[in-house]
Amino acid sequence: MSKLSFLEKLLDDAEVEWKALGKVGELVRGNGLQKKDFTETGVPAIHYGQIYTYYGFSTTKTKSFVSPELAKQLRKVDKGDVVITNTSENLEDVGKALVYLGEHQAVTGGHATVFKPGSCILGKYFAYFTQTNEFANEKRKYAKGAKVICFASVETGELSRQS
């Protein structure tokens, strides 16, 4: 049985230029959203905790909403963007990604980073990549903390596959 990863088999020794995440899209750190801010209706909102407990890989609708007034202060999530968790109590959940495919702009808050893909990458592709062993190995290098694990490299765009 081959020891090559799926990615290595897929590339089949092709020359590839590896780039840091911040070079293939824009990373925007979330701010200020708390569960107490939720309303029954309003602007769609994605809370980082719901990425672990409610959402799967992608969503067209949000579980929660906030008032239009609060939404003006929060980070915007557009169709095709990926919301990435920055904080978790375990290494597996930190860096978990959710692709937003909703027709209406959503918002997110702290403990999350919005990845706005550039022209050379699809948000869905990046989200699939976050489920690979390669991503898990890179994540381990950058995650910090014992009880609460933070993944600051997502915010700075430093994360990249090292040769």
Domain boundaries, the chain: 19-156
CATH of domain 19-156: 3.90.220.20
Over residues 110-128, mean pLDDT? 94
Residues 104 and 115 sit within 8 Å (Cβ to Cβ): no
Choose among 153, 142, 148: nearest CA to 49.
Answer: 148
| pLDDT tens column, 123-142 | 999 999 999 888 888 888 87
Per-residue pLDDT tens digits for 37-91: 999 999 999 999 999 999 999 999 999 999 999 999 999 999 999 999 988 888 8
Q: Please tell me the distance from the alpha carbon of residue 156 to that of residue 106, in angstroms, as a whole number.
A: 22
The DSSP 8-state label assigned to residue 35 in this structure reads G
pLDDT in tens, 142-153: 777 766 667 665
Residue-level length of the chain: 163
115 bridge partner residues: 27, 82
- Tell me the pTM: 0.84
- The band of 110, judged by pLDDT with boundaries at 50, 70 and 90, is confident
More confident residue, 147 or 121: 121
In terms of phi and psi (left: phi > 0; alpha: psi -120 to 50; beta: otherwise), the region of 121 is beta
